Structure formats: structure tokens, C-alpha cells
Amino acid sequence: MKQFECQYCCSKGICEHLLAAYDVIGREIIGGLLRNSNELKEMITLVFEHLTQIQIDRVEELLSDSLLDLWYDSYDAVEGSIYIHNLDPYLIAQLSELVISEVEDFESGPGTATTYELFYHDNPADMMSKLFRLVEIDLNYAKNSNV
Ligand SMILES: [Zn+2]
């Protein structure tokens, strides 16, 4: 059974080069720099709140496919409110545009395995700013739309 191993520093645990360790089945980032991305969450929440003022078919035109998935996961149509429960699948979709990942089964306890997708990079800070930029571009069209 495989273990995490960084190709840059040969660390067997979570190191500075790990952008995200993504639990594919649980759809959750369990480690790495992207784990607590509150800044991105706040940024997206603001834009989504703006979009609650807009007709739903217009929202569908304004959002990219991956943002639209996140929108439907976060929008309470009855209350007309936004709550982002799980940003991780969206972040991983964006990160996949930037970094080649490896998907492997890893031991998660005695006799059990979990599938993780791992994103390592030798310049994680640079990748984080590229990811922010990518999300900003993804949001831009919606942000500038008139209500
Ligand atoms: Zn490393």
C-alpha cells in the first residue's frame, strides 16, 4: 500500500510542497495549503450573494460550469440565501487546471484504504497566487453583471 511521498523533499507526511490532498470519495481536502481557504470562500460568497438578486436563468448564463455546480450546492432557493457547504470540489477543479495530480489508493487505517488525489508543486506560493487569479477570472463576469 502506498504512502504519501513528496518528490521534492521526500517527506512522507504533509510538507510545504503539498497544495492539496483531496479525499476523492469524501470530496474533501484533508491536508495541504488549500485546506483552510477562507479567503476564497468569502470572495465567492460575496459574488454569489450579489447573484441572488438576479433571475436564475440569467445566473446560469453568467457562471462557468464548475461555478454553477457550486452555486446549486450553496443556494437555498426558499430562503434566497447562500451558504457554501463545501468549496473543496470547486477548488480541486480549478487546481487541476494548474497542477498535474496523482490519484492513488492509500492506507487510511488497518485494512482500509481511501483514494486520494495529491497536488504537489515545488513553488506552492506561486501556485496559490495563480489559483487565486484563476478563481478571480472565473468570478469576474458574474461580479460585474448588472442586477
Ligand atoms: Zn515536500
Domain region containing 97: 18-143
pLDDT at 45 over 70: yes
Task: Identify the pLDDT of residue 104.
Answer: 87
Task: Identify the pLDDT of residue 112.
Answer: 83
Q: Ligand 1 center to residue 78 CA distance, Å?
A: 46
Q: Ligand 1 center to residue 5 CA distance, Å?
A: 8
Q: Is residue 132 part of a domain?
A: yes
Q: Is residue 2 part of a domain?
A: no
Q: Ligand 1 center to residue 33 CA distance, Å?
A: 12
- Spatial separation of the C-alpha atoms in residues 97 and 42, rounded to whole Å: 22
HSE (CB half, 13 Å, CA atoms) of 94?
Answer: 26
pLDDT at 138 over 80: yes
Q: Is residue 8 part of a domain?
A: no
Q: Is residue 10 part of a domain?
A: no
Q: Which residue has better confidence, 108 or 93?
A: 93
- Spatial separation of the C-alpha atoms in residues 144 and 147, rounded to whole Å: 9
pLDDT band with cut points at 50, 70 and 90 for residue 141: confident
Q: Looking at residues 37-57, what average pLDDT do you find? A: 92
Q: Is residue 13 part of a domain?
A: no
Q: Is residue 12 part of a domain?
A: no
- Spatial separation of the C-alpha atoms in residues 92 and 108, rounded to whole Å: 21
- Spatial separation of the C-alpha atoms in residues 108 and 7, rounded to whole Å: 21
Number of domains in the chain: 1
Q: Mean pLDDT across the chain, nearest whole number?
A: 91
Percent share of the chain, pLDDT over 70 = 97
Q: Is residue 106 part of a domain?
A: yes
Q: Assess contact for 90 and 69: CB atoms under 8 A.
A: yes
Q: Is residue 31 part of a domain?
A: yes
Handedness of CA 26, 64, 50, 60 (dihedral sign): negative
Q: Looking at residues 61-65, what average pLDDT do you find? A: 93
- Spatial separation of the C-alpha atoms in residues 99 and 88, rounded to whole Å: 16
Task: Identify the pLDDT of residue 147.
Answer: 57
Neighbours of 38 (CB within 10 A): 9
- Spatial separation of the C-alpha atoms in residues 15 and 13, rounded to whole Å: 6
Q: Ligand 1 center to residue 41 CA distance, Å?
A: 26
